[in-house]
A and B are shown apart, each in its own frame.
Chain A
Amino acid sequence: MSACTRSAAEHGARILPYHRVVGLELHDNRVVGARVNDERNGEELEIRADIVVNAAGAWAGQIASLGGCVVTVRPGKGIMIAMNHRLVNTVVNRCKPPSDGDIIVPIRTVSVIGTTDIQVADPDELEVTPAEIEEMFDEGEKLVPGFRKARALRVWAGARPLYTLDDVADPRAVSRTHTVLDHAKRDGVEGFITIAGGKTTTFRLMAEHALDTVCEKLRVDRPCTTHEQPLPDSEDERFYWLGARVQAQEPVPGSEEIICECELITRRHLTEAIARRRPTGLDDVRRRVRLGMGPCQGGFCIYRATGILHAFEHLDHQAANASLVDFLQERWKGVQPILYGDQLRQARLDDWIFQGLLAVGHLPE
């Protein structure tokens, strides 16, 4: 995703993360812009545009309604569990009709098992239930015997943007194809389209189809070229290689400070990530370099990263403390539902570090 936003920015786009759309500007049945709210500081901003594209995924229905249009999205909740290490080195998928917990995908340093599919009313309320977790472990055991004895690192839930015109009882029966809705033709609202349905695998095709509609409406006659353009950092057409970070350290071991030993993040990686996304908290840095995402779940790197962030961004003590405490809470959220075995052992060591050694529960105000 960061490669996509970089590519867009290089082509002149302005990216506003952490901005919630609070309203769409309507004039004579035409959407002419959006009002957005910066979630970090509450500042409101008005953006004018010839065309507004609603690509809000599971939230597409909510955005469409701001433009006075009805788009029925049925968010389908799915949970995933990241297991420590690569239990498999290729995708392992059971040969049967799609159902819960039937696939393990190796990605970066972990393997992810998924998933469930439960229709939910609100994509912001995605509860991970113990029953879903048990189901993943049971199904995982069928895919990789001994699965329950492996270390579960983290669980999370996402919402599929399922879009259908019909009422379907089983969400898995709903097609994962996508649809471009031109609200001028559909609802009589100009300057507004919605890209609905689809899935991550086809996201660039979804974008192409949405943009074809935009171009048609703007009377621009140019063919789409995204399918011919590699994204930034992929120009050499080489795949991600698991050993890359180790290889970079091998010529002179100890020649760079390793801030996160689990994921081999150096001080330079960290400060570059901080510089690129400033001003942000550690959670954005995490997404960029996998900070705190390895087996120790931040036990050693969170203190170090907070110390580095504090110095690098000249944060005051309150901002640095908030960043540290938020990161701990954010990690805990995904860890506590699947805490057992060696991962509980690790989490308890982290408790001893943060609450015992550092006493972060008693930081000054």
Chain B
Amino acid sequence: MNEAHGRLVPASYDAVVIGAGLAGLTAALRLAEEGQRVAVLAKGVGATHLAPATIDVLGYDDGPVDSPARTLPEFADANPQHPYRRLSIDLIRASLDWFKACLSDHGYRGGLDQNLLVPTAVGVAKPTALVPETMAAADLRQGGRFIFVGFRGLKDFFPAYLADNLARTPLPGGAAVTTRVVELSPPLGVARDVSATGFARRFERADFRESVLAELGRHLMPGEIVGFPAVLGLEGARKVWQELETRLGHSVFEVATLPPSVPGIRLYETMTGALRRRGARLVVGTTVAGAEGSGNRLEGVVAHTAGRPLTYRANSFVLATGGFASGGLQLDSSGEVREPVFDLPVAGLPGPEEPRFERGYFDEHAISRAGVAVDASSRPIDGEGTPVYENLHAVGATLSGAVPWREASGNGLSLASGYAAASAILEAS
């Protein structure tokens, strides 16, 4: 570090990524893989810890989507402002392939041509493009006899409610699903209230697994597929899952539960671990609140950390701070929407007389598609379509035009847009 303008200035980077969700980590890791010196600055961990680690590319259009590859062209035509309009099928496919290779330890299954159908914790058969191997046996497309396992002391998973709905869910091709439930009472000591991560840590212990195996083994019937809440270990998840399959002699899968998402934490740990091994700098717990530049070129961002401002200089910058849920977009009490880091223009806003929200919770709300609009090189643009900075790119939930929680497109958009921004940066340099 050297001293300049009275501020501590760290060494400069090729790229600075703001935000450590899937979009930011994807852009950062791809750039680091190509030899760029990368810094990731994040206020906290990203939405990985909130969402299941499935890669939903496009789950719902008018109804459930069977094949994202087939549906995406018409979907993009019907939604001209949607980020998928600028992300080609080939690019999305490349991003999925890259992701699968990069998380080879997670054994992701699936692809762009055919969505899998996996049960949510309320028993909806949800379409998704990629799932980690610990969730793959949940695929409902062929039907099957399922048993769901609950644990006394885990309040974020209600297998009976799940099973009740799932048994009544019509499946494509008339696939037949039967469900039943077992609740286990593994030893938890004095604790009566154990979080998903608490269970995941216990599953890393052999003695805990033994007691689960002993109790569960008595209940299983031949051929049943066994669904657990997604708490089967953290860094040792693959081993835990394999041991359960081998010892039970049944296919075993995980169902995503309420946040914190254990599979999401695994995803985050693997990607940040890979980043560190590539020499990237990861600073979590810092707020980026200012930019330095000349003309339309950004030269540095000012981050507040440990009580003082620090300028991070770089050739290119990636904004991956998320949408309203992550604070990447903000709405104040008088109705003004802001992007707080660069004060970028916000697109997709309702008109002055138009209500921001509808009365029905499940209606589409006018403000839902608000965000930062970008050009073909993922650069934020103003109302005239001119890039605000020639070397700033925006990715993930910050982008305008999508309603990812309705479309089941969140992680797919983050992955593809993060991948595309990295490609644009690599091309330009």
Query: Is B64 located at the chain interface by the 8 A CB criterion?
Result: yes
Query: Is B375 located at the chain interface by the 8 A CB criterion?
Result: no
Interface 1/0s, chain B 395-427, versus A by CB < 8 A?
Answer: 000000000111010100000000000000000
Interface 1/0s, chain B 249-287, versus A by CB < 8 A?
Answer: 000000010110000000000000000000000000000
- Quick check: B164 and A257 within 8 Å, CB to CB? no
- Quick check: A303 and B122 within 8 Å, CB to CB? yes
- Quick check: A363 and B192 within 8 Å, CB to CB? no
- Quick check: B324 and A357 within 8 Å, CB to CB? no
Chain B neighbourhood of A324, CB < 8 A: 122
Residue of B nearest to A337 (CB): B357
Residue of B nearest to A258 (CB): B193
Query: Is B52 located at the chain interface by the 8 A CB criterion?
Result: yes
- Quick check: A362 and B60 within 8 Å, CB to CB? yes
Shortest distance between the CB of A271 and any CB in chain B (Å): 13
The one of B123, B334, B360, B408 in contact with A356, judged by C-beta atoms closer than 8 angstroms, is B408
Chain B neighbourhood of A340, CB < 8 A: 331-333, 335
Interface centre among B156, B361, B410, by most chain A C-beta atoms within 10 angstroms, is B361
Chain B neighbourhood of A353, CB < 8 A: 50, 258-259
Within 148-178 of B, Cβ neighbours of A (below 8 Å) are at 153, 155-158, 160-161, 164-165, 168-170
- Quick check: A356 and B333 within 8 Å, CB to CB? no
Among the 9-residue stretches A110-118, A227-235, A325-333, the one with 4 or more Cβ atoms under 8 Å from chain B is A325-333
CA distance A6 to B184 in the complex (A): 38
Interface size class of A (residues with CB under 8 A): 35 or more
Query: Is A336 located at the chain interface by the 8 A CB criterion?
Result: yes
Query: Is B45 located at the chain interface by the 8 A CB criterion?
Result: no
Within 34-68 of B, Cβ neighbours of A (below 8 Å) are at 47, 50-52, 59-60, 64
Residue of A nearest to B361 (CB): A332
Residue of A nearest to B330 (CB): A341
The one of B51, B258, B358, B408 in contact with A359, judged by C-beta atoms closer than 8 angstroms, is B408
Query: Is A360 located at the chain interface by the 8 A CB criterion?
Result: yes
Chain B neighbourhood of A361, CB < 8 A: 362, 406
- Are A357 and B120 also in contact (CB < 8 A) when A307-B158, A329-B360, A352-B51 are? yes
CA distance A310 to B335 in the complex (A): 39
- Quick check: A341 and B51 within 8 Å, CB to CB? no
Query: Is B191 located at the chain interface by the 8 A CB criterion?
Result: yes
Identify whether the interface residues of A are mostly helix, strand, loop, or mixed.
helix
Query: Is B200 located at the chain interface by the 8 A CB criterion?
Result: no
Shortest distance between the CB of B144 and any CB in chain A (Å): 17
Chain A neighbourhood of B327, CB < 8 A: 345
CA distance A336 to B153 in the complex (A): 34
How many contacting A-B pairs (Cβ < 8 A)? 156
Query: Is A156 located at the chain interface by the 8 A CB criterion?
Result: no
Query: Is A205 located at the chain interface by the 8 A CB criterion?
Result: no
- Are A336 and B331 also in contact (CB < 8 A) when A310-B164, A359-B408 are? no
Query: Is B297 located at the chain interface by the 8 A CB criterion?
Result: no
Query: Is B131 located at the chain interface by the 8 A CB criterion?
Result: no
Chain A neighbourhood of B23, CB < 8 A: none
Chain A neighbourhood of B356, CB < 8 A: 339
CA distance A336 to B361 in the complex (A): 9
Query: Is B304 located at the chain interface by the 8 A CB criterion?
Result: no
Query: Is B96 located at the chain interface by the 8 A CB criterion?
Result: no
Shortest distance between the CB of A245 and any CB in chain B (Å): 14
- Quick check: B124 and A360 within 8 Å, CB to CB? yes
Among the 9-residue stretches A36-44, A58-66, A84-92, A315-323, the one with 4 or more Cβ atoms under 8 Å from chain B is A315-323
Smallest CB-CB A-B distances: 6 pairs: A307-B158, A332-B361, A348-B325, A356-B405, A336-B357, A317-B164
Q: Give residues in A with beta carbon < 8 Å to B.
A: 137, 148-149, 152, 252, 254-259, 267, 300, 303-304, 306-308, 310-311, 316-317, 320-321, 324, 328-329, 331-333, 336-337, 339-341, 344-345, 348-349, 351-353, 355-365
Give 7 new A-B contacts, CB below 8 A, not counting A345-B326, A357-B258, A362-B64. Answer: A137-B333, A333-B359, A345-B325, A348-B323, A349-B259, A357-B259, A362-B125
